[in-house]
Amino acid sequence: MILRSWDRVKPRSISDLACFLLVAVFVPVTYIFHVTIVMPELFAIGGIWYTLLWLASLFVIFNITSNMLACMLVDTSIRKELLKPPLDAAQLARWHSCQDCQTLVPPRSWHCEVCNVCVLKRDHHCRFTCCCIGHHNYRYFFYYLVYMIIGSLAAAIMESIYLWHLHLDIYWRWSTLFTMFAPVVSLMLSPSWESFYLVIYDLTLLGFAISSLLLVFHWSIFKSGSVTRERGTRKYDRGLRGNLEMVLGKRMHLTWLSPFLRSDLPHDGVNWEPIAAFAPKEE
């Protein structure tokens, strides 16, 4: 695993910076809100349920933040590889020239205008991690989405009980509707803890919705062994298990535990060959 230098990790655009800050601020604030405000009203502090949920929330927030950082730090560009074009003419024909990088790049590698580099098995540029998702960091992006969904869903359920059951007398009013649809404006016009809690609730629902949509979208591509640019094709489809292993590595059954758990990928990300059934036939 090769890590990128800081100058290649930091956000390169306003949209990247805004999306990154949204997650970087929202996740810890939501965690603190739950541990200090919500959970003490739902469960007895020190009780079995409080302790179990607190430990579970630590595990989830650890995986959200560490997988997000792994996405940003792990280099999946052509710069991490000493590229040697193959001598075989058939294999070389699948390589293409990148005018921006001024070099030959392997199949399934494409240039990113934001990162200004070609990325091995490039899927897309992720605004929330400020980097491209490709061959070497797709695993971390996948688990980042999974744990964002788990965390935001659990948080939304507990927040709903806190707001609409325990404190219905405070939040059952017309101003709540305005705060839900215009949280920032409402917080600026009428700053209060009640409004701030609604903003957190809004962001929790938004986090769940965005993460779920992204996972649903990418799963349909991911399970066929493709990337976004190859959507609708099955040239590299190795079956569900083979496709999962190509992203999660040889120890894929353990990778959900932590991004620090080593799971070597079965492919170098450079020398791709289409599955025989989909390879172009020779004349």
Q: Which 3-state string (H, E, C) describes 177-188?
A: HHHHHCHHHHHH
Catalytic residue among 126, 130, 131, 132: 126
Q: Which of 155, 204, 198 is nearest to 23 (CA)?
A: 204
pLDDT tens, residue by residue, 51-88: 999 999 999 999 999 999 999 999 998 876 667 877 88
Per-residue model confidence (pLDDT) at position 281: 43
**Helix 48-73 vs helix 14-33: crossing angle, to nearest 10:** 160
126 is catalytic: yes
Tell me the pLDDT tens digit for each residue of 84-111: 877 888 888 889 999 988 888 999 999 9
Residues 125 and 116: their CA atoms lie apart, in Å, by: 11
pLDDT in tens, 230-257: 988 888 999 999 999 999 999 999 999 9
Domain limits of the chain?
6-228+236-278
